[in-house]
Every structure is written in C-alpha cells, then in structure tokens.
C-alpha cells in the first residue's frame, strides 16, 4: 500500500490547505465540508453510475461536471440514496439524541415510503422485513456485504466525534445492522468513521492510511489494495472501499480525488459519495470547487450544512487533541 505515498511525492502539486473562518473550530469546517463532499460526490458520480471507464471516456472524455442524467435521469445537482439515507439517519440521531436502532429503522422506512430515486436490494429487503417484524436488526448474512450501510456512516462519525472507539462501533452497528448485518460491511463502516474523525482532527493522511486502511487490510486481507487500479467497482463493499482508498490516498486535492474515483465507473455515485466525504474532511470547505458547490441543489446543500453543524454540536464540540496538520 506504500505505493500511493510514492505517487503523491512524485506527482502531487502542492495545494494550499483549507483555513477555517476565524473563531470557528477547524473540525466544524471540515465536518460541513465532509457532508457537502458526500452530496457532491453522489451528484457527480450518479451521471456515470454503472458505466465502464471506456464508456465514460467515449461519452464525456473526463467526467468532471455535475450535469445530472445517467440511468436515473437526474436533474443536475440532484443526489441519490447515498445522501438522502444519510440525511434521514442524521435527522433521527438529532431527534433521539443518539444513534438508536429502532429510530434509525423507522427513519429509513419513512425514507423508503417517500419513494426515493434509487434504493439498493438489500436495503429494500431488510426494511420490508422490519415493517413485518418490528425488529430493527436484520439477521446476520454473509451475502449482505453491499455498500449500503457504509455509504451512510457520516452522521454517525459526526455524532460520535470525540467518543471512544467502542462507542462509535456500537453506535454504527445499531444503524448498519438495520439493513446490512455483515462482518465486512461493519469493518468498512468502522474504518470510514475513524478515518473521517481522524481527518476532522487534522491528522496527517499518511498516518490515517497506516492507522486505518492498513489495519483494515491486515484484519480482513480481502480489502488489501496495491498498484493495480480498481476499475468498475461493484456495489460489493470491498470493491467500493478499494477504489475509494486508492483514489483518496493517491491524490492531493478534493477535485482530483473525486474525478479519479467517478471516472472508474461502476457504482460511481457511491464511490463518489464516500470519497467526497473523506476528501471534504481532509481538505475543508476551501478545497471544494465552487462550480460543484453551486451546482448542488440548494435544499440538499442547506440540509447538509445544517445537519453537519448540529451533529457536531450534539457531539459536544469537545476540545480534541490536535495532531499536527499535514
């Protein structure tokens, strides 16, 4: 996995680090940027979801504009389930004051009743089961290793910022197991939550890769990634994470990261959303290209900004030990 750092050293332009407005804690700026990054990556990637890299090249050259379209025929700036499920979960966390399984399941069920533009098969199946049984925990299944729980972890990462790792893990499983009760999904979710929290705290990305991505691969070798570029990532959480981690650690700006990951095609709205979340947490609001922020639907942008701030406020805005920024 060390190759990514060599690439960064050789190819990366030096970019200015995002500076938060005076008086605002840096992690608040990065938390808002993480939420906007999630939505921007979703809106950008949705245009090329399920296309191959070759098909994307033929139709768009390099896909780097939020134009809508795609198989969902979206209006430019609209987001999909990745963002709307996250917002539904975040609202439930704010309403109950914590991450609670039944509240999360009800929020997801209400979200499904509102006929979202897209919905994963595992999500649908296990929400239908919740309606029938009232049990918010799906049965453990080795087949439910899709990326549907990993794509919506951001509100958990924000609500649990500053909490012990065990608390974050417990909170995540409450929401994740509503639809995805699976060991690989859990490992991916928890890695993403800790990465977001590390980046909000200003931890060096090289350190984050070692502490989190390499640990994930050592505990579950199926997640190991090397020089071979992961293209056309499927909705299998392992494929999704490998593509996202490659892009995230091999690039040095928000824009480069998102352009790299969505042009790999496959489940591009979800790789875009997860990569956007990480890149937002890393580069802050100043790192987000204005054209993408302007293209995002107003109601979505406002909901992301509001929810990120409120979740971090709920987390207590505890003073963090702040490692030296990269």
Contacting residues toward Mg ion, per CB under 5 A: 80-82, 118, 267, 269-270
For the chain, how long is the longest CA-to-CA vector?
56
Nearer to Mg ion, 163 or 234 (CB): 234
Collect all residues with Cβ–Cβ distance below 8 Å to 306 and sequence separation of at least 6: none
Q: How far is the CB of 58 from Mg ion (least distance, A)?
A: 21
Nearest to 150 by CA among 201, 196, 116, 98: 196
Dihedrals φ, ψ of 233, to 5°?
A: -60, 135
Q: Note whether 158 and 315 are within 8 A (CB).
A: yes
> Are 245 and 277 in contact, with CB atoms under 8 Å apart?
no
Report the residue number, 117 or 183, with the smaller CB distance to Mg ion.
117
Specify the residue for token string 């940027």: 33
Can you say whether residue 296 is alpha, beta or left, with left for phi > 0 and alpha for psi between -120 and 50 degrees? beta
In the chain, % helix, strand, coil (3-state, to 5) comes to: 60, 0, 35
Cβ atoms of 266 and 257 within 8 Å: the answer is no
Which residue's CB is nearer to Mg ion, number 185 or number 270?
Answer: 270
Nearer to Mg ion, 118 or 305 (CB): 118
> How far, CA to CA in Å, does 230 sit from each of 9, 59, 177, 196, 209?
21, 21, 27, 22, 17
Tell me the β-bridge partners of 69.
Answer: 74
CB of 269 to Mg ion, least distance (A): 4
How far is the C-alpha of 207 from the C-alpha of 221, rounded, in Å? 19
Please state the closest distance from residue 215 (CB atom) to Mg ion, in A.
Answer: 26
CB 201 to Mg ion: min, Å: 29
Residue with nearest beta carbon to Mg ion: 80
Shortest Cβ 50–Mg ion spacing (Å): 8
Q: Which is nearer to Mg ion, 47 or 175 (CB)?
A: 47
Query: Residue 175 or 240: which CB sits closer to Mg ion?
Result: 240
Q: Which one, 119 or 312, has the nearer CB to Mg ion?
A: 119
Rounded CA-CA distance 76/73 in Å is 9
Q: By C-beta, is 186 or 269 nearer to Mg ion?
A: 269
Rounded to a whole number of angstroms, the minimum distance from the CB of residue 44 to Mg ion is 12
Smallest separation, CB 295 to Mg ion (Å): 17
Least distance in angstroms from the C-beta of 105 to Mg ion: 20
């Amino acid at each position: 996995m060390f190759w990514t750092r060599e690439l960064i050293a050789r190819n990366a332009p030096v970019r200015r680090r995002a500076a938060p407005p005076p008086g605002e804690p840096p992690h608040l700026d990065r938390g808002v940027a993480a939420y906007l990054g999630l939505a921007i990556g979703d809106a950008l990637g949705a245009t090329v979801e399920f296309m191959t890299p070759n098909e994307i090249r033929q139709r768009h050259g390099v896909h780097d504009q939020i134009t809508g379209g795609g198989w969902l025929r979206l209006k430019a700036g609209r987001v999909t389930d990745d963002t709307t499920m996250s917002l539904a979960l975040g609202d439930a966390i704010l309403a109950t004051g914590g991450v609670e399984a039944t509240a999360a399941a009800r929020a997801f069920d209400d979200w499904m009743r509102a006929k979202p533009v897209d919905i994963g098969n595992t999500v649908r199946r296990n929400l239908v089961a919740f309606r029938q049984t009232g049990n918010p925990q799906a049965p453990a299944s080795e087949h439910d290793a899709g990326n549907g729980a990993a794509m919506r972890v951001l509100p958990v990462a924000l609500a649990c910022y500053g909490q012990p790792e065990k608390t974050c893990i417990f909170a995540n499983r409450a929401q994740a197991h509503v639809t995805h009760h699976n060991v690989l999904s859990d490992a991916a979710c928890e890695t993403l939550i800790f990465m977001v929290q590390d980046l909000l705290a200003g931890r060096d990305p090289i350190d984050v890769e070692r502490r989190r991505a390499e640990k994930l691969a050592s505990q579950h070798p199926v997640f190991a990634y090397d020089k071979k570029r992961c293209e056309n990532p499927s909705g299998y959480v392992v494929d999704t994470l490998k593509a996202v981690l490659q892009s995230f650690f091999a690039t040095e700006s928000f824009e480069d990261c998102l352009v790299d990951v969505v042009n790999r095609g496959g489940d591009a709205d979800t790789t875009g959303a997860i990569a956007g979340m990480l890149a937002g947490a890393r580069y802050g609001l100043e790192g987000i290209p204005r054209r993408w922020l302007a293209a995002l639907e107003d109601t979505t942008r406002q909901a992301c900004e509001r929810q990120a701030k409120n979740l971090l406020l709920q987390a207590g805005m505890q003073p963090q030990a702040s490692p030296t920024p990269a």
